[in-house]
Amino acid sequence: MIQRKNNRYITALGCLCLWISLTFSACTADITLDTDDAKPVLVIYGTVTNQLAYQSVQLSSSTGYFSHEKNRQISDAQVTLSAGNGTVYDLVEDQKHPGIYLTKKQMAGIPGESYRLKVIVDFNEDGKAETYEADATMTQQVVMDSVRMPKEEITGYHFYSINLYGQEPAGDNYYVCKYQVNDTLYSQISKMIVFNDLALDNQYITGQSISYMFDSKDKDKYKNDDDFNTMVFITENDKVTTYISNITKGYYNFLMQCQNGRQGENPFFGGPLSNISTNIKGGAIGYFTAYTTSISECVAGKK
């Protein structure tokens, strides 16, 4: 479900939102954290994709829910990825971005392959390192034929709808879409488009809308909205690249909980959330996942 705080355009986009419905289901592994006086815990967020890249893992510390301090990034950890075929990848900390650990060489995950993340670090600084582990199996790739972004208007508000074209496979499938507008990549959890195939299963999709972006010409209309700073505005003829990933149900639930639990650029790296899903063993929170991604390009306003 596309959630917006301002009633002025919730009504305007009501007919759109009715058929962009997303379901949410509970996860079996939950961690309940207290409020701002809770003891900090290690936050681990790692991904392996089928794209040839430096695969990454981020380590940080949670902060109090009402804290305005930035999360402390965790350095000096031993981080490894092990594939089911026996290959082990050592990760090294990015010197320019503390707390970010990258594979030494670019690598691409294999659909259907299993991966294990292992992190060894003295998080509580008691002189003894703790071990945290998580497992993930890479999903099969779902390729869309194309993505288009026609310009729409509802009761005086203009937006660009992100429409999908392609065959959706049979069975329960879950997706996340990141996007890049010209040279700006929007990959924050708060800006991800998370959806499932509840109304699309095993169909050829012809222009199904999964979300929308605001027309920059209407920017002044939203200046007083609570979430103005998180809105994405684009202009006709902007180049938009979409990264649509087929993800697991567990990761889908995790993303939904993060988006529903707190608005922000990195909601789960901020104050602790109540009952947030995690697949990390050892007492940390966060998530480790492996997924496939398909890339499409389109021009805003071009049908």
Output the 3-class SS for 45-94: EEEEECCCECCEEEEEECCCCCCCCCCCECCCCEEEEEECCCCEEEEEEC
pLDDT of residue 6: 38
Structure confidence at residue 37 (pLDDT): 54
Whole-number pLDDT of residue 267: 43
Handedness of CA 92, 95, 100, 104 (dihedral sign): negative
At residue 38, the pLDDT reads 66
How many CB atoms are located within 10 Å of the residue 210 CB? Answer: 21
Q: Six-digit token pair at 76? A: 């000096």
Query: What are the residue ranges in the chain where pLDDT is below 70?
Result: 1-38, 63-70, 262-275
- pTM of the full structure: 0.82
**CA–CA gap between residue 172 and residue 196 (Å, rounded):** 8
Set out the domains of the chain in order of their start, with CATH numbers: 7-24+141-249+295-299 (2.60.40), 40-139+275-292 (2.60.40)
DSSP-assigned letters across all residues of 103-154:
ESS-B---TT-EEEEEEEE-TT-SSS-EEEEEEEEPPPP---SEEE--EEEE
